[in-house]
Amino acid sequence: MIFNTGAALLDAIVLAVVSRDAKGTYGYRITQDVRQIIDVSESTLYPVLRRLQKDHCLEVYDMEYGGRNRRYYKLTERGDAQLRLYCAEWKIYSGKISSVLEGRVAV
Protein backbone atom coordinates (compact mmCIF):
# COMPACT_ATOMS: atom_id res chain seq x y z
CA MET A 1 0.00 0.00 0.00
CA ILE A 2 1.39 3.40 -0.91
CA PHE A 3 -0.58 5.33 1.73
CA ASN A 4 0.80 5.87 5.21
CA THR A 5 -0.82 3.92 7.99
CA GLY A 6 -1.32 6.09 11.05
CA ALA A 7 -1.42 4.78 14.59
CA ALA A 8 -5.19 5.15 14.88
CA LEU A 9 -5.82 3.18 11.70
CA LEU A 10 -3.45 0.43 12.83
CA ASP A 11 -5.17 0.32 16.24
CA ALA A 12 -8.55 0.05 14.51
CA ILE A 13 -7.38 -2.80 12.30
CA VAL A 14 -5.85 -4.71 15.24
CA LEU A 15 -8.99 -4.27 17.34
CA ALA A 16 -11.16 -5.43 14.43
CA VAL A 17 -9.00 -8.52 13.89
CA VAL A 18 -9.05 -9.41 17.60
CA SER A 19 -12.82 -8.83 17.80
CA ARG A 20 -13.52 -11.63 15.31
CA ASP A 21 -13.18 -14.25 18.05
CA ALA A 22 -14.96 -13.64 21.37
CA LYS A 23 -12.47 -15.93 23.15
CA GLY A 24 -9.51 -13.98 21.80
CA THR A 25 -6.71 -14.83 19.45
CA TYR A 26 -2.95 -15.20 19.71
CA GLY A 27 -0.24 -12.79 18.65
CA TYR A 28 1.10 -14.64 15.63
CA ARG A 29 -2.40 -15.10 14.20
CA ILE A 30 -3.08 -11.39 14.70
CA THR A 31 0.07 -10.45 12.81
CA GLN A 32 -0.81 -12.79 9.95
CA ASP A 33 -4.38 -11.46 9.71
CA VAL A 34 -3.26 -7.82 9.83
CA ARG A 35 -0.65 -8.52 7.15
CA GLN A 36 -3.47 -9.66 4.85
CA ILE A 37 -4.79 -6.09 5.06
CA ILE A 38 -1.69 -3.91 5.27
CA ASP A 39 2.05 -4.40 4.94
CA VAL A 40 3.39 -4.22 8.48
CA SER A 41 6.13 -6.02 10.39
CA GLU A 42 5.81 -8.04 13.58
CA SER A 43 8.15 -5.56 15.25
CA THR A 44 5.52 -2.87 14.58
CA LEU A 45 2.53 -4.91 15.72
CA TYR A 46 3.69 -6.20 19.08
CA PRO A 47 4.17 -2.69 20.53
CA VAL A 48 0.64 -1.88 19.27
CA LEU A 49 -0.70 -4.91 21.13
CA ARG A 50 1.13 -3.88 24.31
CA ARG A 51 -0.15 -0.30 24.04
CA LEU A 52 -3.74 -1.45 23.50
CA GLN A 53 -3.36 -3.69 26.54
CA LYS A 54 -1.98 -0.78 28.59
CA ASP A 55 -4.94 1.35 27.43
CA HIS A 56 -7.32 -1.40 28.66
CA CYS A 57 -8.61 -2.12 25.16
CA LEU A 58 -7.21 -5.65 25.22
CA GLU A 59 -6.82 -8.19 27.97
CA VAL A 60 -4.11 -10.80 27.79
CA TYR A 61 -3.97 -14.39 28.96
CA ASP A 62 -1.66 -17.33 28.32
CA MET A 63 -2.77 -20.80 27.32
CA GLU A 64 -0.75 -23.91 26.66
CA TYR A 65 -0.56 -25.07 23.07
CA GLY A 66 1.67 -27.90 21.96
CA GLY A 67 3.64 -27.89 25.19
CA ARG A 68 4.31 -24.15 25.03
CA ASN A 69 2.52 -21.09 26.29
CA ARG A 70 0.72 -19.02 23.71
CA ARG A 71 -0.27 -15.44 24.52
CA TYR A 72 -3.88 -14.59 23.66
CA TYR A 73 -5.44 -11.16 23.27
CA LYS A 74 -9.12 -10.51 23.87
CA LEU A 75 -11.18 -7.36 23.34
CA THR A 76 -12.39 -5.65 26.51
CA GLU A 77 -15.56 -3.55 26.82
CA ARG A 78 -13.40 -0.47 26.44
CA GLY A 79 -11.77 -1.98 23.35
CA ASP A 80 -15.17 -2.74 21.87
CA ALA A 81 -16.29 0.85 22.46
CA GLN A 82 -13.07 2.13 20.89
CA LEU A 83 -13.56 -0.12 17.86
CA ARG A 84 -17.12 1.17 17.39
CA LEU A 85 -15.80 4.75 17.53
CA TYR A 86 -13.10 3.94 14.97
CA CYS A 87 -15.70 2.34 12.67
CA ALA A 88 -17.99 5.37 12.86
CA GLU A 89 -15.11 7.76 12.20
CA TRP A 90 -13.82 5.59 9.35
CA LYS A 91 -17.20 5.70 7.57
CA ILE A 92 -17.17 9.50 7.64
CA TYR A 93 -13.50 9.81 6.69
CA SER A 94 -13.51 7.23 3.90
CA GLY A 95 -16.73 8.65 2.50
CA LYS A 96 -15.18 12.10 2.22
CA ILE A 97 -12.00 10.77 0.63
CA SER A 98 -13.96 8.65 -1.85
CA SER A 99 -16.12 11.62 -2.79
CA VAL A 100 -13.08 13.73 -3.60
CA LEU A 101 -11.18 10.98 -5.42
CA GLU A 102 -14.22 10.03 -7.47
CA GLY A 103 -14.93 13.65 -8.40
CA ARG A 104 -18.29 13.85 -6.66
CA VAL A 105 -17.22 16.77 -4.46
CA ALA A 106 -15.18 19.79 -5.47
CA VAL A 107 -12.56 20.97 -3.00
Is the pLDDT at 91 greater than 60, yes or no?
Answer: yes
Q: Give, in order, the Cα–Cα distances in Å from 68 to each of 63, 64, 92.
A: 8, 5, 44
Distance between CA atoms of residues 40 and 49, nearest Å: 13
Q: What are the chain's domains? A: 7-101 (1.10.10.10)
Is the pLDDT at 1 greater than 60, yes or no?
Answer: no
Residue 72 pLDDT: 97
Is the pLDDT at 10 greater than 60, yes or no?
Answer: yes
Residue 104 pLDDT: 74
